[in-house]
Amino acid sequence: MNDPISDENAPVKPKQIREWVELPDDISAVITVDPAYSDHERADFKVAALVGITPQYKRYLIKYIQTHAPQGEFINSVLNMYLEHKGIITNIGLPNSGVEKEFFRTFNRICEERGVHPPIAEIKNVFTDSTGVSYRKKKNRIIATLQPLFEAGKYFIHGSHVEAKDEILRIGSSRNDDIVDALSSAEQILSPGFMPREEKRVDRYGMPQIIGYQQKSDFGYGY
Protein backbone atom coordinates (compact mmCIF):
# COMPACT_ATOMS: atom_id res chain seq x y z
CA MET A 1 0.00 0.00 0.00
CA ASN A 2 2.91 2.37 0.70
CA ASP A 3 4.79 1.55 -2.50
CA PRO A 4 5.01 4.67 -4.71
CA ILE A 5 4.19 2.61 -7.81
CA SER A 6 2.37 -0.68 -8.27
CA ASP A 7 4.04 -3.82 -9.59
CA GLU A 8 1.99 -3.54 -12.79
CA ASN A 9 3.38 -0.10 -13.59
CA ALA A 10 6.96 -0.69 -12.47
CA PRO A 11 9.55 -0.86 -15.28
CA VAL A 12 10.98 -4.04 -13.71
CA LYS A 13 8.62 -6.54 -12.07
CA PRO A 14 9.55 -8.69 -9.03
CA LYS A 15 9.21 -11.89 -11.09
CA GLN A 16 11.81 -10.57 -13.54
CA ILE A 17 14.57 -10.36 -10.94
CA ARG A 18 16.72 -13.49 -11.03
CA GLU A 19 19.25 -14.40 -8.35
CA TRP A 20 22.62 -16.08 -8.67
CA VAL A 21 24.19 -18.42 -6.15
CA GLU A 22 27.51 -19.14 -7.86
CA LEU A 23 29.15 -17.06 -10.55
CA PRO A 24 29.96 -18.71 -13.89
CA ASP A 25 33.60 -19.43 -14.69
CA ASP A 26 33.55 -17.63 -18.04
CA ILE A 27 32.76 -14.19 -16.64
CA SER A 28 34.50 -10.87 -17.17
CA ALA A 29 33.58 -7.70 -15.34
CA VAL A 30 33.71 -3.92 -15.12
CA ILE A 31 33.42 -1.46 -12.26
CA THR A 32 31.35 1.66 -12.77
CA VAL A 33 31.52 4.54 -10.34
CA ASP A 34 28.77 7.01 -9.45
CA PRO A 35 30.38 9.65 -7.19
CA ALA A 36 28.51 12.06 -4.95
CA TYR A 37 29.76 15.44 -3.81
CA SER A 38 28.66 15.55 -0.20
CA ASP A 39 29.41 13.25 2.73
CA HIS A 40 26.21 14.22 4.55
CA GLU A 41 24.01 11.28 5.49
CA ARG A 42 21.07 12.78 3.57
CA ALA A 43 23.09 13.29 0.40
CA ASP A 44 23.25 10.85 -2.51
CA PHE A 45 25.31 7.75 -1.91
CA LYS A 46 28.69 7.20 -3.49
CA VAL A 47 28.38 3.93 -5.41
CA ALA A 48 30.68 1.56 -7.25
CA ALA A 49 29.17 -1.51 -8.91
CA LEU A 50 31.05 -4.60 -10.07
CA VAL A 51 29.06 -6.02 -12.98
CA GLY A 52 29.97 -9.22 -14.82
CA ILE A 53 29.04 -10.46 -18.27
CA THR A 54 29.30 -13.89 -19.87
CA PRO A 55 29.72 -14.87 -23.55
CA GLN A 56 25.94 -15.48 -23.52
CA TYR A 57 25.49 -11.77 -22.61
CA LYS A 58 24.08 -12.52 -19.18
CA ARG A 59 24.79 -9.82 -16.59
CA TYR A 60 25.67 -10.45 -12.96
CA LEU A 61 25.74 -7.84 -10.25
CA ILE A 62 28.67 -9.29 -8.33
CA LYS A 63 28.97 -6.71 -5.55
CA TYR A 64 28.70 -3.00 -4.92
CA ILE A 65 29.84 -0.26 -2.58
CA GLN A 66 27.22 2.15 -1.26
CA THR A 67 28.57 4.72 1.17
CA HIS A 68 28.65 8.29 2.48
CA ALA A 69 32.36 7.94 3.29
CA PRO A 70 34.75 10.76 2.38
CA GLN A 71 35.93 10.82 -1.21
CA GLY A 72 39.44 9.53 -0.55
CA GLU A 73 38.15 6.59 1.49
CA PHE A 74 35.59 5.78 -1.21
CA ILE A 75 38.22 5.83 -3.99
CA ASN A 76 40.48 3.53 -1.98
CA SER A 77 37.53 1.14 -1.53
CA VAL A 78 37.01 1.11 -5.30
CA LEU A 79 40.70 0.36 -5.88
CA ASN A 80 40.57 -2.42 -3.29
CA MET A 81 37.62 -3.91 -5.16
CA TYR A 82 39.62 -3.71 -8.38
CA LEU A 83 42.66 -5.41 -6.84
CA GLU A 84 40.49 -8.15 -5.31
CA HIS A 85 38.93 -9.00 -8.70
CA LYS A 86 41.73 -7.82 -10.98
CA GLY A 87 41.80 -11.10 -12.91
CA ILE A 88 38.33 -10.58 -14.41
CA ILE A 89 38.05 -6.77 -14.60
CA THR A 90 38.50 -5.17 -18.02
CA ASN A 91 37.71 -1.53 -17.14
CA ILE A 92 36.78 0.93 -14.44
CA GLY A 93 34.18 3.38 -15.75
CA LEU A 94 34.44 6.92 -14.42
CA PRO A 95 32.46 10.07 -15.29
CA ASN A 96 34.61 12.94 -16.53
CA SER A 97 32.46 15.94 -17.39
CA GLY A 98 31.35 19.09 -15.61
CA VAL A 99 31.65 18.86 -11.82
CA GLU A 100 32.82 15.24 -12.20
CA LYS A 101 36.17 16.27 -13.69
CA GLU A 102 37.62 16.94 -10.24
CA PHE A 103 36.65 13.46 -9.08
CA PHE A 104 38.27 11.99 -12.20
CA ARG A 105 41.52 13.84 -11.46
CA THR A 106 41.46 12.84 -7.79
CA PHE A 107 40.87 9.20 -8.69
CA ASN A 108 43.86 9.18 -11.02
CA ARG A 109 46.04 10.96 -8.45
CA ILE A 110 45.25 8.35 -5.79
CA CYS A 111 45.99 5.60 -8.32
CA GLU A 112 49.43 7.13 -8.86
CA GLU A 113 50.04 7.45 -5.12
CA ARG A 114 49.17 3.79 -4.55
CA GLY A 115 50.98 2.55 -7.65
CA VAL A 116 47.78 1.01 -9.00
CA HIS A 117 47.14 1.44 -12.71
CA PRO A 118 43.71 0.09 -13.68
CA PRO A 119 42.29 0.45 -17.21
CA ILE A 120 39.92 3.43 -17.10
CA ALA A 121 37.03 4.19 -19.45
CA GLU A 122 35.09 7.46 -19.43
CA ILE A 123 31.33 7.09 -19.05
CA LYS A 124 28.73 9.59 -20.23
CA ASN A 125 25.31 10.65 -19.00
CA VAL A 126 23.65 9.32 -22.15
CA PHE A 127 22.52 5.97 -23.54
CA THR A 128 21.87 5.28 -27.21
CA ASP A 129 19.87 2.20 -28.08
CA SER A 130 20.17 -0.04 -31.14
CA THR A 131 17.68 2.10 -33.09
CA GLY A 132 19.77 5.26 -32.62
CA VAL A 133 17.55 6.92 -30.01
CA SER A 134 19.52 8.69 -27.28
CA TYR A 135 18.32 9.01 -23.68
CA ARG A 136 19.79 11.76 -21.49
CA LYS A 137 17.17 12.18 -18.78
CA LYS A 138 18.33 10.00 -15.90
CA LYS A 139 15.11 8.01 -15.36
CA ASN A 140 14.63 7.34 -19.07
CA ARG A 141 18.27 6.38 -19.50
CA ILE A 142 18.13 3.84 -16.67
CA ILE A 143 14.86 2.32 -17.88
CA ALA A 144 16.02 2.09 -21.51
CA THR A 145 19.23 0.39 -20.42
CA LEU A 146 18.04 -2.07 -17.78
CA GLN A 147 14.39 -2.90 -18.46
CA PRO A 148 15.02 -5.01 -21.62
CA LEU A 149 17.72 -7.02 -19.83
CA PHE A 150 15.51 -7.90 -16.86
CA GLU A 151 12.54 -8.66 -19.13
CA ALA A 152 14.72 -11.06 -21.11
CA GLY A 153 15.95 -12.78 -17.95
CA LYS A 154 19.51 -11.69 -18.68
CA TYR A 155 20.26 -9.94 -15.38
CA PHE A 156 21.12 -11.66 -12.09
CA ILE A 157 21.69 -10.19 -8.64
CA HIS A 158 22.64 -11.92 -5.39
CA GLY A 159 20.08 -12.61 -2.70
CA SER A 160 21.96 -10.33 -0.30
CA HIS A 161 21.65 -7.31 -2.61
CA VAL A 162 18.74 -5.81 -0.71
CA GLU A 163 19.45 -2.15 -1.57
CA ALA A 164 19.97 -2.95 -5.24
CA LYS A 165 16.74 -4.96 -5.44
CA ASP A 166 14.80 -2.10 -3.87
CA GLU A 167 16.14 0.40 -6.40
CA ILE A 168 15.53 -1.94 -9.34
CA LEU A 169 11.88 -2.47 -8.36
CA ARG A 170 11.34 1.27 -7.85
CA ILE A 171 13.14 2.81 -10.80
CA GLY A 172 11.83 6.34 -11.22
CA SER A 173 10.19 6.52 -7.79
CA SER A 174 12.83 5.47 -5.27
CA ARG A 175 14.56 8.15 -3.23
CA ASN A 176 17.88 6.48 -4.05
CA ASP A 177 18.86 5.56 -7.60
CA ASP A 178 22.65 5.53 -7.41
CA ILE A 179 23.02 1.74 -7.75
CA VAL A 180 20.76 1.45 -10.80
CA ASP A 181 22.52 4.46 -12.30
CA ALA A 182 25.84 2.62 -11.93
CA LEU A 183 24.32 -0.51 -13.50
CA SER A 184 23.03 1.59 -16.37
CA SER A 185 26.47 3.15 -16.89
CA ALA A 186 28.07 -0.29 -16.99
CA GLU A 187 26.27 -0.95 -20.28
CA GLN A 188 28.39 1.72 -21.96
CA ILE A 189 31.38 -0.58 -21.48
CA LEU A 190 29.68 -3.98 -21.65
CA SER A 191 27.68 -3.13 -24.80
CA PRO A 192 29.65 -0.46 -26.66
CA GLY A 193 27.62 -1.19 -29.80
CA PHE A 194 24.71 0.65 -28.18
CA MET A 195 26.71 3.84 -27.68
CA PRO A 196 27.17 6.69 -30.17
CA ARG A 197 29.37 5.31 -32.90
CA GLU A 198 31.47 6.61 -35.74
CA GLU A 199 31.54 4.99 -39.15
CA LYS A 200 35.05 4.83 -40.58
CA ARG A 201 35.51 5.09 -44.33
CA VAL A 202 38.40 5.83 -46.63
CA ASP A 203 38.55 8.27 -49.51
CA ARG A 204 39.84 7.48 -52.99
CA TYR A 205 43.39 7.99 -51.75
CA GLY A 206 42.99 5.49 -48.92
CA MET A 207 42.90 8.18 -46.24
CA PRO A 208 40.47 7.62 -43.34
CA GLN A 209 37.23 9.60 -43.16
CA ILE A 210 35.05 9.63 -40.06
CA ILE A 211 31.32 10.08 -40.50
CA GLY A 212 29.26 10.36 -37.33
CA TYR A 213 25.84 8.75 -37.02
CA GLN A 214 22.87 11.06 -36.60
CA GLN A 215 20.82 10.34 -33.54
CA LYS A 216 17.45 11.23 -32.12
CA SER A 217 17.17 12.58 -28.59
CA ASP A 218 14.58 12.90 -25.87
CA PHE A 219 16.20 16.27 -24.94
CA GLY A 220 16.12 15.42 -21.24
CA TYR A 221 19.04 15.97 -18.92
CA GLY A 222 20.04 14.26 -15.73
CA TYR A 223 23.15 13.41 -13.77
**What mean pLDDT comes out for the span 2-25?**
83
**Residue 217 pLDDT exceeds 70:** no
Report the C-alpha gap between 47 and 60 in whole angstroms.
16
155-184: pLDDT as tens digits: 999 999 999 999 999 998 878 899 999 999
Beta bridge partners of 59: 53, 155
Counting the structural domains of the chain, the total is: 1
Does residue 7 fall inside a structural domain? no
Does residue 8 fall inside a structural domain? no
Q: How confident is the model at residue 134 (pLDDT cuts 50, 70, 90)?
A: confident
Does residue 6 fall inside a structural domain? no
Range of the domain at 65: 14-217
What CATH number has the domain bearing residue 39? Answer: 3.30.420.240
Does residue 4 fall inside a structural domain? no
43-98: pLDDT as tens digits: 689 999 999 999 999 999 999 999 999 999 999 999 999 999 999 999 999 999 88
Does residue 99 fall inside a structural domain? yes
Q: Residue 7 in contact with residue 15, Cβ under 8 Å?
A: no
Does residue 167 fall inside a structural domain? yes
Does residue 130 fall inside a structural domain? yes
Beta bridge partners of 199: 211
Predicted confidence at residue 41, as pLDDT, reads 60
Does residue 141 fall inside a structural domain? yes
User: What percent of the residues of the chain are helix, what percent strand, and what percent coil, each to the nearest 5?
Assistant: 30, 25, 40
